[in-house]
Structure 1
């Protein structure tokens, strides 16, 4: 795995209920709504100008890892996050 790019320093903006990363001046986000201990991941946004770089996958992974660390269950409302969870069975136990 040493050939992988370094991990992005994704920021968790708890007040805005979002995970975010800025790539080449473009804000990329994963938004969520927290209801008790259930996080509904509602939207993944990566501008086309920086698409195809694995940013959405990194945001999803970071959001899911945060959910696990905080004891949250996950409702993948966003189609990207739902597909990500299907492709990564290690996160399926988080799904409500």
Structure 2
């Protein structure tokens, strides 16, 4: 991830039971949740603890979630405004919508 002040080498996991991609930094967990609708993933919420804001954690989670969708040939519905904004700023993900 090449954003300003970004966290490097985040360990992002796919928590399939809770339908979300998550990472824990300094005991704080951030995540992007989704609804699986077969060939489409609806990304409905991004949560980054206040202590981790501004460090690129949310962007890293979203990038990971979008890369997952691409790798699994799924379309994306960016219901979460943060996900929609990320896609707007990164046109290489427009094809997923």
Same fold flag (TM > 0.5)? yes
Q: 1:71 aligns with which of 65, 68, 73?
A: 73
> For this pair of structures, how many residues does the alignment match?
93
Q: Which residue is equivalent to 2:92? A: 90
Inter-CA distance 6–49: structure 2 relative to 1 (3 Å threshold): closer
1:12-91 counterparts in 2 under 5 A? Answer: 12-91=14-93
Q: What are the ranges of 5 or more consecutive residues in structure 1 without an aligned counterpart? A: none
- The TM-score with structure 1 as length reference comes to 0.92
SS at match of 2:8: coil
Q: Could you tell me whether the CA contact under 8 Å between 2:76 and 2:96 is conserved in 1?
A: yes
C-alpha spacing 1:77/1:27, structure 2 compared with 1 (3 Å): same
Residues 64-87 of structure 1 deviation map (CA, whole Å, 9 limit, x = unaligned): 000000011000000000000000
Conserved? CA contact 2:7–2:56, under 8 Å: no
Q: What TM-score do you get using the length of structure 2 for normalisation?
A: 0.91
Q: Deviations over 1:31-89 (max 9, x none)?
A: 00010110000000001111110000000000000000001100000000000000000
Q: Which runs of 4+ in 1 moved over 6 A?
A: none
Where in structure 2 are there 5+ consecutive unaligned residues?
none
